[in-house]
Structure formats: structure tokens, C-alpha cells
Structure 1
Amino acid sequence: MKTDLVHQYYVDGKWMDAEETIDLKSPYWGQVIATVPQVNKEEVAKAIESAEQGAQRIKKLTPLERSEILEKVSRLFKERAEEAARILASEAAKPLTAARAEVERTIETYKFAAEEAKRITGETIPMDAAKSGKGRVAFTMREPLGIIAAITPFNFPFNLVAHKLGPAIAAGNAVVLKPANQTPLSALFTAKLFEEAGLPAGALNVVPGKGSVIGDVLVTDSRIKMVTFTGSYEVGLSLKEKAGLKKVTLELGSNSAVIVESTDDLDDVVKRCVQGAYAYAGQVCISIQRIYVNEALYETFLEKFIAHTNSLVIGDPLDEKTDVSALISEREADRISSWLEEAKSAGARIALGGKHSGAMMEPTIIVDGSEELSISCQEAFAPVVNMTPYGSFDEAIKLVNDSAYGLQAGVITTSIHQAFQAVHEIEVGGVMVNDIPTFRVDQMPYGGVKNSGSGREGIPYSVEEMTELKLVSFKL
């Protein structure tokens, strides 16, 4: 599928040719689908200069004017939803049904941002509650930071970009956006819609390129006031070390777990867990990677899980029936294959799948695997789950917490006491009771603890991260 986008980068409200370009290949077809720019250090420096001017322009807009721009972007996405979904299927090998669902969420995310632009408020401070505060009134207000550098991943290249751009623009900031190398087309498409919606020049700048070339420029430039990053733990840690006193929000990896303790509908739980494990080939930060099942349910659960997984359709992302398509690259499939070999050598058994051809990896189930295996303790980002029986609920919670990550977890139980025990004891940013950890809606706070990152996304929470609190005090 050859795309028809104009493949230039976007700076100061203009479409620019880069000195260097690369051919972008589809992960599934292996064919060139576009020629895209690769900006260099000088070109990204010009983008930051543009953002300086853009920050002044967007700051002068009223909350209503910023809201109307975001509302129009949401509307434009709705009008061009199918085109956007096919870009996702092409550049990211996201099955068309999942791509459409992402675009629907993107429409909603910009809608949330449009609404939030009109709700940015401060509070009145009772100064005379202190003895020395008599005769004073004070209030707080929130001001935009200025320029935000947004670095986004490949797995949700429309919606996770929306989670950076939506709140940043709602709050009156300018943005320099560096999309993932494999998914620049969605970011450039987004820039076109913001241009059409009337965003001031320089308020959004999109600079596709290698992180190793331009990443340090974005992170270390003193004009950048905040870096918001979604990606791997290793890159996030390096970024934070270089950022100095800038604000930094990090949404990093996970090896999300679900506990299946008790349920009145095991078939529904199995269906949800299969969906959470294999949606977008497991390339979701909160994809189910570890499943802990009460030993009384384990054999039945495993049997049903295998049967439901076998019903998934693997193939072309543009086929309406496809459930699972290619990983983002053949290199990722090779990595998972080496982890599976390690697991087998350590005595684990592959109950289903385990094979790959090119970037295509079969949905895979591992049983009898220890917690020390790479496939369990590291982030797989692939269609692989490690399934383990347990005896007591306390043991299950301990197994979930035995991880360097802590993004979200799921707990399936008919006991309200166990539900609250899990809520209080599981060490994650979000506990989904009677649901899978892969659940997310776009206005909720989203982020993790431990190696899963710092700060929170979700439009209202991102707006708070992307503004500075100012106190104003009057002596009467």
C-alpha cells in the first residue's frame, strides 16, 4: 500500500524538505510505503526556534480559542477516520479493526482536551488563616510552561501523540514532536489536521528522525521546559539523567499481570484475557504478559485459553478478519524467539505457538516457566503470555509484585475483601478489579511506579503536568 501523504517535516507552519530521507517499509508486507524525512541537529534546532515564537502566539489565545482548535481537530479526525486507520495498518501493521478503534479513541482524546482547555483554573487561598496573613487575599493560577518536547512510540501513533499534543495545546504550550521511526506518517497526518484547524504557526513542529541524532538536542536545550516521553525504561532513564531541571513525564514499560482467583463467568474472563494478551500482537504497554490462575481453575482456564487463542486470525492487517498481524520488525520477533529458547532450556513448556516467520509471531502460551525467565521478568512487547497456577491469594499478590515494573494489574475475584486487599497491596499505578490490566480510557490517570515511569497521563492530569502553578497575593 503506497501512501499519498506529502512526506516533509513540519516547522513554523511550513512543510519542509529535509537534507536526508529514508524509505519506510511496512512491517507486514516488507515493501516501501513512503519516503520520509530524517531531520538533523540543525533542522531540529530550527524547530525549537520556531516553537519559541509559537509559544508566544498560542499563549495569547483564549481558552475558548484553543478549545475550538482542538474541537476542530477531533472533528477532522472523525471525517478522515478510515484514511487514518489505513495509515496505521500500513506503517505499523495494526489490524484494521484495531486501527479503527485507535482512531476512535484519538477522536475522543482530542475532544477531552478541547473540554479541558476551558477548565484550567486555580483556587483562592485563605491568607488570613495565618496570623501574619491578615489583610491579604491570594489566589493561584496555572500558566503554560512554554515549549514541550514530545517523544512518542510506534504502538499507538495517533492516540499517544494525542495524549501529548492535546493537553499541551489545551494549556497553551508549543510542542516539538519527535515520532517513532517506524510511524512518522501518522504524526505528519496529525500535523496537517492541526494546520487545517488553524493552530498558530510554530505551536506544533513535527521532526521525524533518529533519536540517537536529535534526541539529545531536544532533551538538553534550555528552551525546552518539559519532556514527555513514552518508550523503553532504558531510554527513559537516560533521558531523565540528561534533562536537568526540566519537567519530565515518563511512561515506560511493563510486564502486566492478571490474577484469576474466582469468577461467575470463566468464559468471559478467558475471552478478555486473550484479548488483553494478543491485541496488536502484544505490543501494548499494559498487554497481559503474566497470568496467575487459582490452581482450582488452572487446568480449565488453560484449556479454554488455548481454544480461544486458536480461533484468532493471523494475517494481513488490511484484512477485516485479522486479529493478529506482524510485530513492528523482524528483529523483535528474533528477540522473542531467543527468549523462548531460554525458557525451554530452563524447563518451561510452550503450550501453544512459539514459531515465527519474518516479523510474524504466533500467539504463544508458556507454562511451567519460572519468574526469572526473560519472558516473565522483562517486557516482552509481543504476543506471549506466561501462565502460572498459585495456591493462595497472598501468594498471587506476591508473584505480581515480584517485578521491576508496576504500570497496571488486573484482579478477577468475586470477593470484595480480596478486591480491596489487591487494591492496597499490589504495587502498580492502576488496579483493574474484575478486568484485565489492558483496560484504559483516555481521561483517567495513567502511569506507573518502579521502572514503569513517573508522572501521569490522561488529559486532566497531563494538563496539570504541563502547566506551572503561580501564586498571586494582594495586600489590601
Structure 2
Amino acid sequence: MSAPQLPIYVAGQPVTTGDWLDVTDKYSGKVAAQVAHANASHIEEAIAAAHASRAETAAFPPDARRDVLEHCVRRFGERRDELADLLCTEAGKPIRDSRGEVDRLIDTFRIAAGEATRIGGDVLELQVSPRAHGFRGMTRRVPIGACSFITPFNFPLNLVAHKVAPAIAAGCPFVLKPSERTPLGAQVIGQILVETDLPRGAWSVVVCDTKTSAPLVEDPRIAFLSFTGGLVGWDLRARAGHKKVTLELGGNAACIVDEDPGVPLEHLVKRLVFGAYYQSGQSCISVQRIIAHRAIADRLSGALADAVRALKCGDPHDESTDIGPVIDAASADRLTEWIDAARQSGARVLVEGRRDGTMIAPWLLADVARDAKLYREEAFGPVALIESVDSFDDAIERANDSHFGLQCGVFTARLDHAMRAWDRLEVGGVVVGDVPSVRVDNMPYGGVKDSGVGREGVRAAIEDMTDVRLLVIKDPPAG
């Protein structure tokens, strides 16, 4: 049976281009589907349509935007199993994790539906001095204009949702470019958007290579760029001109374990294993560095090693699989090189993973040198590092010893330590009582340092996709 062929969507219409991109099953390597590949003229048409539809999309009433989003919620629910299977296939994500991502897709659109009719403003007291007597002020938020969204391979549904759903709620037209490695879920979102009453020029979903997508970054008709991916994002920001830019660029997240972590060891190990090895560690907030107080480090290391050895690797469609393949051979090569270099520099191997093609069994290492790439860069694979420190303050210093700053987890029974972590950790988010891998879809999410700029999360994204417009009214003269 031949692989199904899927169109792209340009100005709300399905388009086949005659140039097909093979999308592979990341476990078997077989072609699972083909997606139409956009060329420069399709990108131009999509941008022109988004720019031209600004007024119409902004005028699309908030209750109608809510209805579009609620339609998507219903249809995603009806197609939940199909979406999970597609995600498992195109990303190699274990099926249990894939279902969880579909549920987050639904949650994100549901949250956006609620926000669509709550985008308001403020009444301002302007009479702050005699010269301002008689002036009244108020603000409202208005759509920023055409937006471009570029998303990575690792969360092909939910990272798309965190851009598309707020744009619909805010009344912004958009052009979405999903990853070429995992475009299938975005195409299903396109199929469902076709069913809605959104203005047809208001949205496009295009699959193309990096060179072809350059206008999505550089074209001045685009008012807002939201990019999730690697450090190349800083180059995109430099090329973006005057448009507003939000970047989420990853990290090498730390999790601090205090002398008294405040939770039983069994629970602590369960959460750390989840945070480090969920979807094969291919998450921006995966637990990469475990920084444990010396009083607990040995017991924790032993219990962690036992739990990691018990993880099952294999076919992501198998319900019992914990670890699926990494996204491609190049990623597997890079991770293998970094692990080998860390071992040669003196790291102790607590759990040794085996590699078979793109399948990498989970690794756990201790005492990795702080100048090793495996410590300093984003591993983005099934590997975690553990180290011991003498005090909580030392743990904060170690966590901050990174050019990234996305999120940090903290396990502690002491309220003063929790507050100290919130005060001193150089990250966008501090999670006390759990791993940094926690993300609730309505919270403001983003990082500092090389982890990016700006925040996602539905309400935060809506704020980025809208401008504040002020109205000042002068009272008429008395008499």
C-alpha cells in the first residue's frame, strides 16, 4: 500500500505542489506519509494573504473565535487515537506519551477558547496633577497583525497549539511552518481549521526547508515571529528587523535535591526518571543535571540506577515501551560522541546504555566534568547526570553554572530554601516539589540567558500577539 499524500494549506486552502516530502516512521524507517513541499511562491502567497486579512481577522468577533477553538477541541477529541498514532509514528514518541501530548493539545485549545472573550483593558486615572484635570483614559488590546510560527520536531502538536490557539483567540492571521521531520500532526490541525469559519486568508500551514522559509523571518509584513528550537533562534532574531520576536531555545535543566527533599525516596526517583527519560529525553526541560546534597546523593544514585535499568526500550507503538528512538542518526551520533568524551574525562557510568541505530538505551552518569559538552550543552536524549554538593547554596551555584536558564526543579522540605531558590535561580521558572519538566499549559513559560526571550502559555502569548491601544478623552469645557 502506498503512503498517503497530504496537502499543505495556503490561505486556508489545501494545495498540492507536485514536490513530495517523505515522512518516515522513526522506529521502522519506512515512509509513513508524504506531505506536499512548499516553494517560495507558496510562502509569498501565504504571507500576502495573512497581511491582507489583518482587518478581517481582527474584526472576527471574540465569540466566533471562541467557537472556532471549541470546534477544534471537539474534533481533536474525536480524532484523539488517530493523532496519538500519527505522533507515535512521525516522532517515535512512546504511545502513552503521545496520548498525553494529544490531551495537552486539547487543553491548550480549551484554555484559549476561554481566553478569547476575556481580552480586555484598563480604565486609567489620568488626573494625577492639575495639568491633567479633565482627562480620562482607557486601554484595550488589539491584534498585532500577521504572525509567523516556526516549530520543532519534539512536540509536533502541543508546540503548534501554543502558537496557533492564542493567535486565533487574539484575532491574528498566521503562517505556520512545522518541522519537516514531524509535519503530520500540523496537517491534521489544518484539516480541522478548514472546517471552521475563520477567514480563509487568516491562516496557512506550510512545510518547507529553512532557506525557503526565510521570508517568515525577514518579511516586514510579518509583525510577530514566534520560534521554538535551537540556538539558531538568535540568528533569526537578528534577521527579523523591527518585528516582535519570541524565542524558546531549550536548556540543560537542573533538578536540585536538598538534604531533606520533602518526599519519600521512591517518589523522588519516580519523578526524576520521568523528567529525565520522558520521550527519550527529547524535551527542552528534560532533567539533565541532578544536583543532590551529599547526605542523600549515594542512596539516590543507587535507587536511580535501579529504576533506569528497568526502563524498556523498543517499538513506541508498544504500550509497555518507555524509551523510543531519538529523532535521527545525526542526533544519535552527537549524543554518543558527547557521552564518550565525558567518560574519557573521568565520568563514572552508573547505567550504560546500548545503541542500535537511532535507539539509545538510557544512560546515567556521575561526576561529569563541568566543562564537558554533556554537562554544558543540551543533550536532548536519554541521559542524565548526577553530582553531589555540600550545601543548598552550592546546589544553586551549580544550577546557575549554565548559559541556559529555562526551568529548574527543587525538592526540599524547607520553605526558606524554596524561597531562596525562587530568589536566586537564574531561570524562567522554578518548580518546587517536582522536576523542571513540569509544564501546565496556562502558565507563562520561557527562559533567560540562551534559553530565549519572551513567554508562551496562552495568556502570555496573547499579550505578545496584541498591542495596547490607548484612548484619552478630554472633558468639554464647563458651561
Q: Out of 223, 232, 239, which is 1:225 matched to?
A: 223
CA distance in 1, matches of 2:360, 2:383: 9
Partner of 1:253, secondary structure, is coil
Match of 2:194 in 1: 195
Deviation at 1:55, TM superposition (A): 2.7
Counterpart of 2:286 in structure 1: which amino acid?
A: S
1:50-449 mapped onto 2 (5 Å cutoff): 50-211=49-210, 213-233=211-231, 235-261=232-258, 262-263=260-261, 264-449=263-448
Tell me the TM-score normalized by structure 2: 0.97
Deviation at 1:185, TM superposition (A): 0.7
Q: 8 Å contact 1:337–1:355 — kept in the other structure?
A: no
Q: 8 Å contact 2:112–2:166 — kept in the other structure?
A: yes
CA distance in 2, matches of 1:48, 1:61: 19
CA distance in 1, matches of 2:295, 2:59: 63
Deviation at 1:353, TM superposition (A): 2.4
Q: From the superposition, tell whether residues 361 and 277 of structure 1 become closer, same or farther in structure 2 (CA, over 3 Å).
A: same
CA distance in 2, matches of 1:456, 1:405: 15
Q: 8 Å contact 2:13–2:194 — kept in the other structure?
A: no
Q: 8 Å contact 1:366–1:386 — kept in the other structure?
A: yes
CA distance in 1, matches of 2:51, 2:391: 57
Partner of 1:255, secondary structure, is coil
Q: 8 Å contact 2:57–2:199 — kept in the other structure?
A: yes
* % same residue: 41
CA distance in 1, matches of 2:2, 2:116: 37
Q: 8 Å contact 1:123–1:139 — kept in the other structure?
A: yes
Counterpart of 1:360 in structure 2: which amino acid?
A: M
Deviation at 1:19, TM superposition (A): 4.4
CA distance in 1, matches of 2:53, 2:314: 44
CA distance in 2, matches of 1:438, 1:332: 21
Match of 1:41 in 2: 40
Q: From the superposition, tell whether residues 437 and 356 of structure 1 become closer, same or farther in structure 2 (CA, over 3 Å).
A: same
Per-residue deviation, residues 151-183 of structure 1 (Å, max 9, x unmatched): 001111111101000111100000100001111
Deviates more, 1:257-266 or 1:224-233: 257-266
Partner of 1:214, secondary structure, is coil
CA distance in 2, matches of 1:24, 1:157: 13
Partner of 1:102, secondary structure, is helix
Partner of 2:427, secondary structure, is coil
Gaps of 5+ in 2: none
Q: 8 Å contact 2:51–2:222 — kept in the other structure?
A: no
Per-residue deviation, residues 131-159 of structure 1 (Å, max 9, x unmatched): 22211211111110111000001111111
RMSD: 1.2
Counterpart of 1:442 in structure 2: which amino acid?
A: D
CA distance in 1, matches of 2:422, 2:15: 50
Partner of 1:149, secondary structure, is strand
CA distance in 1, matches of 2:247, 2:300: 35
CA distance in 2, matches of 1:100, 1:52: 35
CA distance in 2, matches of 1:245, 1:182: 30
Tell me the TM-score normalized by structure 1: 0.97
